[in-house]
Amino acid sequence: MHSKDQICYDEYQRTADWLLSQTRHRPNVAIICGSGLGMLAEALKCQDSFSYADIPNFPQSTVQGHASRLVFGELRGKTCVCMQGRFHMYEGHPLSKVTFPVRVFKLLGVQTLVVTNAAGSLADSYSTGDIMIIKDHINMPGLAGINPLNGPNDEKFGPRFPPMSGVYDKDLRKMALDICKSLGYSQFVQEGVYCMVGGPNFETIAEARFLHKLGADAVGMSTAPEVLTASHCGLRVFGLSLITNKVVKDYEDQEKVDHAGVLGVGLMRSETLQTLVTELVSRLEINNNRVE
């Protein structure tokens, strides 16, 4: 579907070269911040910050709650790059542009991708404000053939048919659960399956019921394309969803979700998420300029 929007290797390389010429930082870890979660970037020390508008070939984010900055810096001694705002299919971007930064990160030397999002809960046991460690996902657009890997495959990044079983790194998930236990977060931390839908509308009741029956615990409008692309080019992946609302699955329920409410929950849990991600990054072992 998006083959006409295929991006050549040289474009990724030009963007990576430009960034490397503008900062002394050489990141091992990349963090993508979802709606209302951009405060993670503020934790970086010795920052170099770039507006997306100033970065060659970078798309622009148009969503409230996304600051549209790429921030380089140090987090507990580890060099990171943080997207303060991501791109979405519903903004009109082809998936090659939505996932463009991930391949640039690979060329910068990144080995681990931490991806966060705001999501609605489908699981009855989840509460607003919970944090869900993503153990797997259902990529609804991908199942319909809308895939960032459509078109000719570039072997410089990865194989034609990448496996996706176990894409969310088991060791990183265990590490995060151990951190949550030590910090006293366990009572509001879940581990579950994220489902991506296209958006920008929130789900109908029938759609919510359908997704729940498929095995999804939370639903949102991002993440799967970036994770798919990261896995294709050999990055380790760790994902977090902040549960910002309960998805309505009952026709008698009068509750409605809105984007302002999503951002409000992000603000409420900002310090908790920052602490968790910071502690996780601090425990990553880096050998020979690689995150192992």
In tens digits, what is the pLDDT along the chain, a chain of 292 residues? Answer: 444 568 999 999 999 999 999 999 999 999 998 866 778 888 899 999 999 999 999 988 776 655 789 999 999 999 999 999 899 999 999 999 999 999 999 999 999 999 999 999 999 999 999 999 999 999 999 999 999 999 999 999 999 999 999 999 999 999 999 999 999 999 999 999 999 999 999 999 999 999 999 999 999 999 999 999 999 999 999 999 999 999 999 998 877 777 677 677 767 788 898 899 999 999 997 655 443 3
d(C-alpha 85, C-alpha 258), whole Å: 19
**Catalytic option among 118, 123, 176, 218:** 118
Catalytic residue status for 259: yes
Structural domain 3-247+254-286, CATH architecture:
3-Layer(aba) Sandwich (3.40)
Q: Which residue has the tokens 């310090």?
A: 271
The pTM of this model reads 0.92
Residue with the two structure tokens 């082809």: 94
Question: Active-site residue among 2, 25, 66, 93?
Answer: 66
pLDDT for residue 95:
96
Task: Check residue 135 and give its pLDDT.
Answer: 98
pLDDT digits (tens, 9 = 90+) for 144-192: 999 999 999 999 999 999 999 999 999 999 999 999 999 999 999 999 9
Q: Is 221 in the active site?
A: yes
The per-residue pLDDT for range 83-98, each reduced to its tens digit, is 998 999 999 999 999 9
End-to-end CA distance of the chain: give it in Å, rounded.
35
pLDDT > 90 in the chain, percent:
78
Widest CA span in the chain: 58
Candidate list 96, 117, 231, 245, residue with the active-site label: 245
Active-site annotation holder among 90, 185, 191, 268: 90
**Annotated active-site residue in 30, 140, 176, 221:** 221
- Is 88 catalytic? The answer is yes
Residue 71's alpha-carbon distances to 27, 103, 166, in angstroms, are 11, 16, 29
CA distance 50 to 57: 13
**pLDDT at position 289, please?**
47
Q: Answer yes or no: 222 catalytic.
A: yes
For the chain, the domains span 3-247+254-286
- Residue 144 burial (C-beta neighbours within 10 Å; 0-12, 13-18, 19+): exposed
Instruction: Name the active-site residue from 25, 88, 93, 232.
Output: 88
Catalytic residue check, 127: no
Read off the tokens for 140.
Answer: 């609804």
Q: Exactly one of 35, 61, 68, 121 is catalytic; which is it?
A: 35
Mean pLDDT of the chain: 91
Q: Please say if 25 is a catalytic residue.
A: no
Is 118 in the active site? yes
CA distance 100 to 162: 18
The residue from 117, 222, 231, 241 that is catalytic is 222
